[in-house]
Structure 1
Amino acid sequence: WKKVNRFAERALQYVEKEHRYQLLYKDLATNPEYELKKLCNFIGVDYSPQCLDFRQSNHHILGNTKMRLGSNSSIYYDEKWRRSLSSEQLKLFDRLAGKMNRKYGYF
């Protein structure tokens, strides 16, 4: 997670600020319609409520087989990872990635 985000941050240095768009998972998960409207506006397309249910269109998503083949298409904020880790594991995560995690508004 940290490595991928560092790579993205370095790559974004070469993109003009007005062409960058950051969408946080927690924002999308807690307020999907609002965030998708903002995203559609940024990329210059009309928002459609169908954006909230990706199963209404034919397309192929690579990866994430569980979501692709499952029947639930709702977006929700999932913090199972946090509940499944021990306090020691959470401390280790905070030492390794806490700074970046907080930078993105998490934890």
Structure 2
Amino acid sequence: MCVSSQIEIEATKRRVTVRIGNTTIAESTRAQRMTEGDLPVRHYLPSEDVMMEMLEPSETITHCPYKGDARYWNVTVEGSEFKDMVWSYSTPLEEVSAIAGLLCFYDERVSLEVGE
């Protein structure tokens, strides 16, 4: 759920690495870093930097009044499925167009490291 319209997005060249257990799911130096009020900082990554073969589309769709409609993916790692772990806004609202088509992981459910 979105609770704030105070959204800031900035490109970062810092290496963002996403892992589940010992498996690297994504690694990028082309992420968009989003802050949104008091919500956790999120990193949106290009699909080219994500192991898309580990993702399966979910039926889940949510709506945020500040970003638009998000669709979700499940992630399968070593035979275990993690539901709705990843989301993306394919056609976000104009104010947040920098995240269009980029993928975001729940930091709370994966190991997400941001390097120097």
| Higher alpha-carbon Rg | 1
TM-score by length of 2: 0.21
In terms of fraction of residues, the more helix-rich structure is 1
TM-score by length of 1: 0.22
